Structure 1
Amino acid sequence: MLNRLWLLFAQVVTIFLAAWFITMILKPSWLNGIQSTSLVESITLKEGSYDSGHLSPGSYHEAVKKSMPAVVNIFTSKASTKSKSRKGSNSSDPLFKFFFGGQPPDEEPSSSLGSGVIVSPEGIILTNHHVISDAAEIDIALADGRKLKAQVIGSDPETDIAVLKIDAKNLPTPITLGKIESVHVGDVVLAIGNPFGVGQTVTSGIVSALGRDHVGINTFENFIQTDAAINPGNSGGALIDTRGNLIGINTAIYSNNGGSMGIGFAIPVNLAKQVMESIVSNGSVTRGWIGVEPQNLSKELAESLGLAGSTEGVLLSGVLEGGPADRGGAKPGDVLVGVNNQSTKDVRQLLNQIAQLGPGNEATIKVLRKGKSLELTLKIGKRPKPTIHGQAK
């Protein structure tokens, strides 16, 4: 009997101690005379109020909301998967990287990706030529998730602009084209595209420079430079202002490692619009041509020709026999210093001046020949398609 009572007493004490131990660990405040081990018994938080009618100060949400639905993702399957080098690249120098992604996920039906912008309710899309060049199939993914087939209306390798068309009902509202005259260095700009295939992404920066040429990317260059972060997959995407208007088509970055280093280039909207309208109307872009082989006039070259070292112009090192310049009286060794009363400082400027003159029009060029100034009248010809070995002037 005593053994049974002792066993019962031991069990009760054990249960009591266990309960006391557990309470001390989990709820010490329940034990009379024992203070809580918590350093802070309560905290007071201040939470900001939410007003859906007001945006955060400095927000660009409205600009993005207005323009983002018009930016599309472009997936292409190439006829050839071999990599192609682009002019302007050098294995030992920083490279101009075109924002064109590599192999997308296996479930995607395409091998490469880029971006584009819907610019009209008829389904016209602006993008880069290098995004769709040699593509066997082109698929467009809209912001609402729909996927459509696209056809190429035409493209212009010399400005890296391509025009596509899709057919579908209830397309997103086209983006509004801005005016390049309203763009200034220091303006805030936003880049929209599909970097690395992760989906639509917006980054911000400023306009770093306008009218960038001599970059070595395209034949005809007049780039907007920006430090907005843009990466592979952004090719053909939109560069917009803070009003949501399109001011450029993202094209390339200057980079040592392929990632954004704060130097990006976009084709200005006025040039893209001009090329697009020509492609839609004629299927291609028609430019002027005079048939010369120009060479930049250095100080040493000018002095060797008996000219002042400060002379600005272009040396005609070759003139195509029977071409517009030859028929107008130009000769190898002439130094071309002006076109239609506008000075010509270098080859790039001469190329742009002549290209803007329509075939069949007349132009007056000013040349220096053996110390004498001459004015020659040329009938502008049609610029041939670019060749692999060089560009026609």
Structure 2
Amino acid sequence: MTNLSVRNFLAAAAAMACLSFAPYAHSAVPAANLPDFTDLVDKVGPAVVNIRTTTTLAPSSSGQRSAPPGMGDGDMSEFFRRFFGIPLPQTPRGGDQGDRGDRGDRGGSPDQSDNNDEEKSAGVGSGFIVSADGYVMTNAHVVDDADNIYVTLTDKREFKAKLIGVDDRTDIAVVKIDATNLPTVTIGDSNKVRVGEWVVAIGSPFGLDNTVTAGIVSAKGRETGDYLPFIQTDAAVNPGNSGGPLINMQGEVIGINSQIYSRTGGFMGIAFAIPIDEAMRVADQLETTGKVVRGRIAVSIGEVTKDVAESLGLPRAQGALVSSVEAGGPADKAGLQPGDIILKFNGAAVETDTDLPRMVGDTKPGSRATVTYWRKGQSHDVPITVVQTQPEKTAKADAQQSPAPKPRPSNSLGVTVSDLPASQLKSLKLRTGGVQVEAVDGPAARVGLQKGDIILRVGDTDISSAKQFEQLTAHLDPHKMVAVLVRRGENTQFVPIKPRAQGK
């Protein structure tokens, strides 16, 4: 009887266990719904290429030092330069490790000229074919300073490529190989990219051809100080992935893998890709003319901070602060002045100072645009003719010294000023005058004003003399920030200062 009870108990326990674990077994089923990238890779993979660059060296270069095996000096040097600002730690060359003998169509031996010059591996990167007749897109830094560019397809055919054009500002390059009926990628729309969607990166990290990694879009419009905003992703990207495609789940290229963030030299979960719509605009110009033509309005700009916006009566911090205007340029002819805040360009809102260069750069030179700017509490519209970007000019500092200042009492801003002579006003092209800072203390010193700075405006009032400046600062409210327009060298910006109470 005892044995029967035990049997009954065990049977009941087993039945309960099946019932108890059934829901958990059912909940595990959705794991089968994880994304499958195999069809996507089959579709896009054949159009992704390996790009290898070399430089030509004289025979006397034996005994040189190079990068670790499997990675060319150029690519690793570029990696360390772009992300750490330091040179590549060099290691002695141990045999022919940088360039292997298998050169595809070139017969399995390194190219050598009749005068015994030899090729040295300069870097390795990735790219993708955008047209069946052999146009390949990659990063500019992949092909920088290369004497020879070799493109290897997934079927192991290798071609010597011709450089069509490079645009360093966007880090885009186009090369051409002599081939036809090539597989191509499908170009997507980076404006439709959504944060959180799955993406795939294909490339040649550390020379490992056709490596596939996956992740999600971590952020859009990520500003890194470069000309374009980036797509941020956590798909593993390493040196050698540069120039390869970032692909969505429809098999469309939405970006070009370009940069990573790392404190160790390896992947840390943050990679950046150039949006494909911006890249294609550049590539189209490179294919057509070999160069990129951009518009300019000849101004230098800076950030509009929250304090500056509040002190100038702007509803929120937005726009681009005009810090300097090139004499005789489009902005100067249109009447823009240092201290103006550009809010719109051709009707499109300028949210941050990084938006304006892209808007102006994408405008065809010679066309007219409308600029909306903020000055002294009001917005204004002005037509402006966009011109073609020219090489940057180096401005010469004005060497003329102002006369010895007369001692003046410190004021609520903690700054002593002097009048500017007419000759200096003319040489600096100051339309509304200004006063020169001779000494600072208190509030002015805390915000970084320096001797030699020129104060052009306090709040909405243009400053024309030291006497006017003293009268104005004597009545400032110590409980409110005031925006002081300051010129230093060729740049002009608003500096928010909180005045101190008189007598302190």
Shorter-chain TM-score tier: 0.7 to 0.9
Counterpart residue number, 2:479:
none
SS at match of 1:375: strand
Of residues 262, 287, 291 in structure 1, which corresponds to 2:269? 262
The answer to whether structure 1 residue 145 and structure 2 residue 156 are counterparts is: yes
The aligned counterpart of 1:320 is 326
How does 1:167-182 map onto structure 2 within 5 Å?
167-169=178-180, 171=182, 173-182=183-192
SS at the partner of 1:69? helix
Q: Distance in 2 between matches of 1:170 and 1:241?
A: 24
**2:172 corresponds to 1:161:** yes
The one of 230, 240, 247 equivalent to 1:233 is 240
Is 2:367 the counterpart of 1:361? Answer: yes
TM-aligned CA distance change 1:169 to 1:374, over 3 Å = closer
Q: Structure 1, residues 60-86: CA drift from partner, whole Å, max 9, x if none?
A: 111101111111111112479785699
CA separation of 1:170/1:295 partners in 2, compared to 1, >3 Å: closer, same or farther? closer
Amino acid at match of 1:279: L
Work out the CA distance in 2 between the residues paired with 1:286 and 1:112: 28
TM-superposed deviation, 1:170 = 5.0
Alpha carbons 2:132, 2:180 under 8 Å: kept = no
Which amino acid in 2 is paired with 1:107? R
Identity value in percent: 43
Alignment match of 1:384 (pick from 371, 381, 390):
390
- Measured in 2, the distance between the counterparts of 1:328 and 1:87 equals 40
Counterpart CA distance in 2 for 1:129 and 1:150 is 14
Instruction: Give how far 1:90 is off.
Output: 5.5
**Distance change (3 Å), C-alpha of 1:136 and 1:348:** same
Point out where structure 2 has 5 or more consecutive residues left out of the alignment.
1-31, 58-72, 87-95, 102-118, 396-504
Partners of 2:133 and 2:181 within 8 A in 1: no
Q: Deviations over 1:192-224 (max 9, x none)?
A: 001111222111111112222x212x22x1322
Shift of 1:88: 6.8
Q: Equivalent residue for 1:68?
A: 45
Distance 1:338 1:154 in 2: 32
Q: Tell me the alpha carbon deviations over residues 136-183 of structure 1, each in whole angstroms, 9 at most, x when there is no partner.
A: 110111111111100111111111110000002553x11122233443
Give the alignment's TM-score, normalised by structure 1.
0.74
Three-state SS of the structure 2 residue aligned to 1:67 is helix
User: Does the CA contact (< 8 Å) of 2:310 and 2:316 recur in 1?
Assistant: no
Shift of 1:381: 0.8
Normalised by the length of structure 2, the TM-score is 0.59
* Alpha-carbon shift at residue 111 of structure 1 (Å): 2.4
Candidates 299, 304, 310, aligned match of 1:297: 304
Q: Which has the larger radius of gyration?
A: 1
SS of residue paired to 2:358? helix
Greater mean alpha carbon deviation, residues 80-89 or residues 60-69: 80-89
Letter of the 1:370 partner, please give it: K
Equivalent in 124, 130, 138 of residue 141 of structure 2: 130
1:13-52 aligned at under 5 Å gives the runs: none
Residues 232 and 285 (structure 1), Cα distance of their counterparts in 2 relative to 1, 3 Å cut = same
Letter in 1 for 2:290: G
C-alpha distance in structure 2 between counterparts of 1:104 and 1:321, whole Å: 56
Q: Are 2:224 and 1:215 aligned?
A: yes
* Helix, strand or coil at the partner of 2:286: helix
Q: Which moved more, 1:267-276 or 1:156-165?
A: 267-276
**Using the alignment, how far apart are the partners of 2:48 and 2:170 within structure 1?**
20
> Kindly tell me: are residues 270 and 386 of structure 1, through their superposed partners in 2, closer, same or farther at Cα, counting changes over 3 Å?
farther
- What do residues 28-64 of structure 1 show as CA deviations (whole Å, max 9, x unaligned)? xxxxxxxxxxxxxxxxxxxxxxxxxxx9974311110
Give the count of matched residue pairs: 320
Aligned twin of 1:351: 357
The amino acid of 2:236's aligned partner reads A
5+ unaligned residues in a row in structure 1: which ranges? Answer: 1-54, 93-102
Q: Is the 8 A contact 1:303 1:309 kept in 2?
A: yes
CA contact (8 A) 2:199 2:216 kept: yes
* Counterpart for residue 282 of structure 2: 275
Write the letter of the residue equivalent to 1:168. A
Aligned to 1:225, what secondary structure does the other structure show?
A: strand
**Superposition pairs of residues 58-137 of structure 1, within 5 angstroms:** 58-78=35-55, 83=77, 89=83, 105-107=98-100, 110-137=121-148
Aligned partners of 1:317 and 1:129: how far apart in 2? 30
CA contact (8 A) 2:83 2:262 kept: no
Q: Do 1:88 and 1:215's aligned partners in 2 also have CA atoms closer than 8 Å? A: no
In 1: Cα distance, 2:178 partner to 2:317 partner: 55
254, 260, 265: which one pairs with 1:247? Answer: 254
Compute the displacement of 1:123 (Å). 0.1
